Chains A and B, each alone.
Chain A
């Protein structure tokens, strides 16, 4: 057991830090245009291009596909360091974390050549069209259908909660191609150009005020068979691989995000007063602070153990569900405890630019997105503990 970084990991980190120091752009002023403005998206695409040119795009991808061939631990260092350095959010998170790795495993040579470089360079932003109004947790029950017509699939149906779809260029879409077989065996994955005629996007507003996700309507959308990913009716397996990847990817970057939140909280606790005393002098608030710090540290250690295991065993297992439950529920506790510590004024939008309100609200989505906490617990019960399926 040795929790120090190896010399390789250290030099990876040092090289990255040096690069970030010179290359992280100035923070985008959202006053200039909303989070969905073309200008903001261009800012994010420019950042991706910069990462690409600097050799920092797709760090975990194999070298032969333009990646850096980084180990899981190095990837985790990358995710933490970029956030710590104040780098912009990662617009390509679905493409790089989900679609690319799936294409690498299941795609044809043409698909690899066509899509992979453009994911890394930020030219293509992807979204993930899995969920439907009637197929959420039970996503295999999806009903958006595709029918063969010559060299095309013709797609009709509706997707929902599709993050990034407001500006995405492409969509990894799951469609039903066989209604006669059990639900898992009739699903096919398609790589869909979002400019195809017949696609309508409708932004949905989140309770946090963001318009981060969307409804997508498909009406006789023609997708060439060449853009089918993997064999017909094998889309579910592909989807599972993608979801597994999603879980491991979500974990590491969240650590730094929470770490920064706690730093901000401590800063206020040291300087703001309530009832004539510093917030940091109240024993109850101190207990909450101690708990938040401990919760986060244990999360860091859980990630480190999972990464270490991943490094040995190479494929992410259902343990990813543990990290997902941990961070999403910790996020809610942290957001709640923070507002209790900061007090009444923390509800104001002018207080830290509304960051605490945002965290309080946004964290409610985290136990739903990427598989709800209930589904994650079922996964642990069945696949780790060997209890029978409950559904």
Chain B
């Protein structure tokens, strides 16, 4: 048993970290988040040139043929840098496209996504259905004989404002149907719905008789969607870990320099113990996130459970770490000027993405109780 990153993975970690520090320090993150789309084409191309988009996809599809632990390594560092832009959306869409079993479309679009010339996202969430694939009903799909038509709307679609392609989870005669549409197609309207995290924009997508191409239907669509969400969750958990790591380091640094009552505040146990709790939460989350990435790559029997456990644990831990971090900073931690809130807000949004802690606790309980 060896529970550590490999040498190449450690090198990958180092290069993503340096890339973020060089290409997108937090001043730059702020600049980008103030724009309408939080997308910087130059930064995006830089990430693509490194090969990090779709690095877990096969080389035939423009990927690097690496595993999900490698994806987690990259996502953790992007989370540590609070990098803005459509990395998660595109990673999710590319993963989904690769799992639909439509080789023509996969080999047409995936290389473009990996090299950065196209951006993609997935439109899936509906308020009444949440993240449960069984229950999507809002977008209807009908077959006119010359391709399918979609009508309806979806919420919380990440980066739709900059995406070229969108995969829609719709409902039709064949049950759940995954449809690929171009965002420039007639009848697509994309409305910004600003949320808590300004570094990653969310949109409502309205479809009025939009023509698209079917990627998968029924059980196959469901399976592909669920698997792509699992991969998405691995990346989200890793992002959360990276964010917690930043908060931990920043807080400890501050605790070593800030003085009150003639001593540095890091000498007060009330502050020390918050830092110790942040360490414990961050490291425990890392254990859970790495394991989920590994289990899913290996296809172990408990991979599904591992992903849910990682998500519920990281989501709750990130709340605690964020709370401790702000509290240990005092007033400065509550200001717009301090960078803490960027991470704190990103974490909240990540907490919801692909199911929150309550959702995944229920899933874990179901597995535990069901297994007689």
User: Which residues of A approach B to under 8 Å, CB–CB?
Assistant: 1-6, 9, 73, 262, 266, 269-270, 280, 283, 286-287, 289-291, 293-294, 297-298, 301-302, 304-305, 307-309, 312, 322, 325-326, 374, 376-378, 380-382, 384-390
- CB of B340 within 8 Å of the partner chain: no
A301 to B241, CA, bound (A): 15
- Which of A2, A266, A290, A322 interacts with B2 by CB under 8 Å? A2
A390 to B272, CA, bound (A): 9
Q: Which of B288-322 contact A (CB under 8 A)?
A: 288, 290-291, 294-295, 305-306, 308-309, 312-313
**Please, which residue of chain B has its CB at the minimum distance from the CB of A376?**
B276
Q: Which of B227-283 contact A (CB under 8 A)?
A: 252, 255-256, 264, 266-269, 271-273, 275-277, 279-280, 283
A301 to B362, CA, bound (A): 21
A280 touches B362 (CB 8 A): no
**Please, which residue of chain A has its CB at the minimum distance from the CB of B311?**
A294
A377 to B264, CA, bound (A): 18
Known: A1-B2, A298-B309. 10 other contacts (CB 8 A): A3-B1, A3-B295, A286-B362, A290-B368, A291-B361, A293-B309, A326-B284, A385-B279, A386-B252, A388-B267
Size range of the interface on B?
Answer: 35 or more
A301 touches B288 (CB 8 A): yes
A380 touches B279 (CB 8 A): yes
Quick one: given A298-B287, A322-B283, A390-B272, are A289 and B365 in contact (CB under 8 Å)?
Answer: yes
- The SS class assigned to the B binding surface is helix
B6 touches A290 (CB 8 A): no
**Please, which residue of chain A has its CB at the minimum distance from the CB of B248?**
A385
A1 to B360, CA, bound (A): 25
Contacts of A376 in B (CB 8 A): 276
A135 to B93, CA, bound (A): 61
B291 touches A378 (CB 8 A): no
Contacts of A6 in B (CB 8 A): 1
Contacts of A308 in B (CB 8 A): 1-4
A386 to B267, CA, bound (A): 10
A1 touches B275 (CB 8 A): no
**Top-4 shortest CB links A-B:** A290-B361, A381-B272, A290-B365, A377-B276
Contacts of B198 in A (CB 8 A): none
B365 touches A325 (CB 8 A): no
Pairs A–B under 8 Å by Cβ, sample size 11: A269-B369, A290-B362, A293-B309, A297-B306, A297-B309, A377-B269, A381-B269, A386-B256, A387-B252, A387-B275, A389-B267
B272 touches A5 (CB 8 A): no
B363 touches A377 (CB 8 A): no
Q: What's the nearest-Cβ distance from chain A to residue B269, in Å? A: 5
A269 to B365, CA, bound (A): 11
A293 touches B269 (CB 8 A): no
- Which of B2, B268, B275, B368 interacts with A293 by CB under 8 Å? B368
- Which of B5, B264, B280, B305 interacts with A1 by CB under 8 Å? B5
Q: Which of B331-361 contact A (CB under 8 A)?
A: 358, 360-361
Quick one: given A309-B4, A322-B280, A388-B266, are A294 and B273 in contact (CB under 8 Å)?
Answer: no
Contacts of B269 in A (CB 8 A): 374, 377-378, 381, 390
- Which of B266, B295, B312, B368 interacts with A387 by CB under 8 Å? B266
- Which of A9, A287, A326 interacts with B358 by CB under 8 Å? A287
B1 touches A302 (CB 8 A): no
User: Which residues of B approach A to under 8 Å, CB–CB?
Assistant: 1-6, 9, 69, 252, 255-256, 264, 266-269, 271-273, 275-277, 279-280, 283-284, 287-288, 290-291, 294-295, 305-306, 308-309, 312-313, 358, 360-366, 368-369, 372
B4 touches A302 (CB 8 A): no
- Which of A4, A322, A381 interacts with B1 by CB under 8 Å? A4
A309 to B358, CA, bound (A): 32
Quick one: given A326-B284, A381-B266, are A294 and B1 in contact (CB under 8 Å)?
Answer: no
Contacts of B309 in A (CB 8 A): 293-294, 297-298
Q: What's the nearest-Cβ distance from chain A to residue B290, in Å? A: 7
A387 to B279, CA, bound (A): 13
A389 to B273, CA, bound (A): 12
Contacts of A385 in B (CB 8 A): 252, 275-276, 279
**Please, which residue of chain B has its CB at the minimum distance from the CB of A377?**
B276
A298 touches B280 (CB 8 A): no
A384 to B272, CA, bound (A): 11
Contacts of A380 in B (CB 8 A): 275-276, 279-280
A307 to B1, CA, bound (A): 9
Contacts of A291 in B (CB 8 A): 312, 361
A334 to B48, CA, bound (A): 46
A143 to B291, CA, bound (A): 48
Q: What's the nearest-Cβ distance from chain B to residue A79, in Å? A: 15
A269 to B264, CA, bound (A): 50
Contacts of B283 in A (CB 8 A): 302, 305, 322
**Please, which residue of chain A has its CB at the minimum distance from the CB of B284?**
A298
Question: Which of A283, A287, A293, A389 has its CB near the most chain B CB atoms (within 10 A)?
Answer: A293
Q: What's the nearest-Cβ distance from chain B to residue A331, in Å? A: 15
Contacts of B264 in A (CB 8 A): 388
A3 to B256, CA, bound (A): 37
Question: Which of A266, A298, A374, A389 has its CB near the most chain B CB atoms (within 10 A)?
Answer: A298
Q: What's the nearest-Cβ distance from chain B to residue A332, in Å? A: 15
B277 touches A286 (CB 8 A): no
Contacts of A286 in B (CB 8 A): 361-362, 365-366, 369
Contacts of A266 in B (CB 8 A): 368-369
A365 to B269, CA, bound (A): 22
Question: Which of B2, B264, B313, B358 has its CB near the most chain A CB atoms (within 10 A)?
Answer: B2
Contacts of B266 in A (CB 8 A): 381, 387-388
**Please, which residue of chain B has its CB at the minimum distance from the CB of A4?**
B1
- Which of B2, B275, B369, B372 interacts with A381 by CB under 8 Å? B275
Contacts of A309 in B (CB 8 A): 3-4
A304 to B305, CA, bound (A): 18
Contacts of B364 in A (CB 8 A): 289-290, 293-294
A262 to B9, CA, bound (A): 36
B313 touches A298 (CB 8 A): yes
A6 to B280, CA, bound (A): 28
Contacts of B6 in A (CB 8 A): 1
A294 touches B361 (CB 8 A): yes
Q: What's the nearest-Cβ distance from chain B to residue A136, in Å? A: 17
A301 to B236, CA, bound (A): 19
- Which of A280, A297, A382 interacts with B369 by CB under 8 Å? A280
**Please, which residue of chain B has its CB at the minimum distance from the CB of A262?**
B368
Contacts of B358 in A (CB 8 A): 287
Q: What's the nearest-Cβ distance from chain A to residue B297, in Å? A: 9
A304 touches B3 (CB 8 A): yes
A1 touches B256 (CB 8 A): no
Contacts of A381 in B (CB 8 A): 266, 269, 272-273, 275-276
